[in-house]
Amino acid sequence: MAISNFIVKPFPPLFHIQTNNYRYDYHTKKLALKSNIVCLKTNNISTTSPLFDQSRPSLFKDKDYKLSWQEEVKRAYPLEISNQNLNDDEKLQELVDKRCIDNFRMLIVDSVQHAKAGHAGMALGMAEVAYFLYRHAMRYSLTSPKWFNRDRFVLSAGHGCLLQYVCLHLASFRSVQIEDLKCLCKLGSRTPGHPENVVAQGIEVTTGPLGQGVANAVGLALAEANLNARYNKPDVAVVDHRTYCIMGDGCSMEGISNEAASLAAHWKLHKLTLIYDDNHNTIDGSTDLALSEDTSARFEALGWNTITIDNSQGNLDAFKNALISAHCETRKPTFIRVKTIIGKLSKKEGTSKAHHGTFDDDDVKQMKQKVKWEDREPFHVIPMVYREMQAQTNLGGRLEQEWHSKLNYYQNKYPEEAAEFKLLLPDGMIPGWESSLPKCSMSDPVDSTRGYSGKCLNALAKVLPGLIGGSADLASSNQAYLHNLGDFKQPDSPWGQNIRYGVREHAMGGISNGLALHGGGLIPFAATFLVFSDYMKNSVRLSALSHAGVIYILTHDSVGIGEDGPTHQPIEHLAGLRAIPHLLLFRPADGKETAGAYKVAIENRSVPSLVALSRQKVAANVEGTLADAVGKGGYIVSDNSEKELPEIILIGTGSELCLCEASANVLRKEGTRVRVVSLVCWRLFDRQPRDYKECVLPSSVSKRVSVEAGSPLGWKEYVGDEGIVMGIDDFGSSGPYSEVFNKYGFTEENVTKTAKSLLTKRSSITTQTYYIYIEIGISHSPFSSIL
């Protein structure tokens, strides 16, 4: 059953501003515009942005609440208090915000001191920014933390995790209680040393490796823009939220952030706001040690709307005005450079010593004196702070209810689009979607596994509206392109489901994680050559760590790439990627196994999958392979042993499986009992019950040969002590692919020769693992020519 794709033009923007970049003047407290043409327009459709919502009721209508705050700020700021300030709700709100931030900072200090570990410096310096986002700007719901239309927040500078943990606690998220702040960095706690999305609700993505969060945020904003264009209508918007990301100096230096920022500007992701904590410090010292560029100028050159503000004095108005300009911008993402003081309040403030570690007792005492906190116990929270934050959560609850009302209206007026949209929200899929996968037979034309992969992708795209992705400038080579579904491009085709990443593998991986974790039911794929997986290895690792169901399509998976030579021929890559916990790595042998790999990858939305595919065509679909058997990771392809055990087992993956089968046929004609096993996914096979694994690889059959044109690492576990590993422990060679395979012994003749040598050996308890590099003459090849 196919779902049609709806091409919907985006409705006119709620706000429009014709300008370039801004700089906040701290002395005049105004935004200075580099361009003096400003045009702010609104439609009849009212925005739900809290920054523009003037209808929110004041909490100070509650006289007891107001009186409690008046007493608190009198105590804290005796020199700033006057009757006018106390009775003017706007002035009082400024003082309340200031006191909330004091409390915020003291929770950070208490958490680090109690844990005797952590990174307080960045969190202390950015307290105003984080507080303002969660108290006045962001839309989120406590009753439904995964509410689809919530704003997304990403802390790319993940070492500053206390910044987010304290916000979540004060906002009353159940996932972070006071006891959780007391357990910072403790084993098994919900407050680990860097934010993990699978540990605490309210954390959108797992961050830590610097710069990754920037790419994740671009992915989240990309998901919003794409779904917005595909499903919104002129009279109703069911997709309308923003993405905020905080990054630090380290994130700015890492190349992935620049790759992702370049794409964000190219894609005109105007609902993305990147907030740069410019505190001029890294672990080793001042950023002057390694950095002299103008970061704002770089982002401006990339195509961002850039704003610089000085928050060293804690001025919330400056940040509020910067966010207003970001909300008004409709063509560019916004980069807000916030000048801060690392470790604010501490004796170490402004220095790299404040980056991490605890504070001495005298320093803590002085910090408490500065904010009039001397008589309060550790982890104290002023009771009114919770209620103050509750104002924003209440607003989020109302906005969520309004969104559900919109969704009901949408469903009544646009039932077909609504059915598709609602199917995506819970990562749902049409029943029977797997039947769309191609059915391959022995009579089909020969093709490479990358060719079979392309057919699978396009078949799936007809029934999976969430499928979206692209390649790192290799779409035609990877055969990873969704035909007739357009390229994502604003303003021409923001509904397109093909993403042009350019030569940016690392950003591609990080952005794909954002797409997968957005919650909009998107199924992202990311394609490149297997050898270039090195460029995005950290993103692949984080896919597994954060349960992001990205599908990595990595072609040119062996020395079979041929003429491009050692720089492009992957050797150690399969072994390294297989070592990543939870990652499902498939190396299919033919069309049937390729279809089977996609079935498993699509079904498993909480783990990433990697499909390694050949450039060269395989001889044919291997007789005995089964798409459904791929789910077990390894299975018997053929066996002439009947009721007896085989004398030898040949184990292969990918394009080398047909070598095993061809060799087995030769040996069988000579009277040998031979079993051929496809070990298409090691991890899935390892998860099978012991009885099943024993059935496929009987422990009593010690004579085994594995055949894979890559590193031999790891194969010993499957061939056993007396088995032989046919692998490559070199960097490959440049030449026609058939000659390269010949050089390293990957021919039918050499597999047969190796098997015979093993059959003639006596059993031994010593390990007999060999790397086969026998050079033989070019003869019959089981592979057909490369395109």
**Binding site, annotated residues:** 119, 159, 208-210, 249-250, 279, 355, 450, 477, 532, 556, 564, 568, 615
SS (H, E, C) 158-171: HHHCHHHHHHHHHC
Written as six digits, the tokens of 286 are: 């001042």
Give the three-state DSSP class for 675.
strand
Burial 118-154 (b: 16+ CB within 10 A, else e): bbbbbbbbbbbbbbbbbbbbbbbbbeebebbbbbbbb
Binding residues for Mg(2+): 249, 279
Contact criterion met (CB below 8 Å) for 88 and 82: no
Residues in the chain: 787
Catalytic residues, by residue number, are 505
Say how far apart CA 609 and CA 601 lie, in whole Å. Answer: 6
* DSSP class per residue in 634-667: -EEEEE--TTSPPSEEEEE-GGGHHHHHHHHHHH
Rg of the chain over Cα atoms, rounded to whole angstroms, equals 30
CA-wise closest residue to 93 among 388, 345, 354: 388
Contact criterion met (CB below 8 Å) for 219 and 230: no
Terminal Cα-to-Cα distance of the chain (whole angstroms): 34
User: Cα–chain-centroid distance for residue 591?
Assistant: 29
Q: Parallel, antiparallel, or unpaired: how do β-strands 498-500 and 285-286 relate?
A: unpaired
Contact criterion met (CB below 8 Å) for 634 and 680: yes
Binding residues for thiamine diphosphate: 159, 208-210, 250, 279, 355, 532
Sheet strands (E) in 536-666: 551-555, 584-586, 609-612, 635-639, 648-652
Contact criterion met (CB below 8 Å) for 260 and 304: no
Say how far apart CA 587 and CA 6 lie, in whole Å. Answer: 35
Q: Tell me, what DSSP letter sits at residue 433?
A: G
Say how far apart CA 745 and CA 733 lie, in whole Å. Answer: 13
Contact criterion met (CB below 8 Å) for 655 and 447: no
CA-wise closest residue to 295 among 277, 273, 270: 277
Contact criterion met (CB below 8 Å) for 707 and 782: no
User: Cα–chain-centroid distance for residue 316?
Assistant: 31
Binding residues for substrate: 119, 355, 450, 477, 556, 564, 568, 615
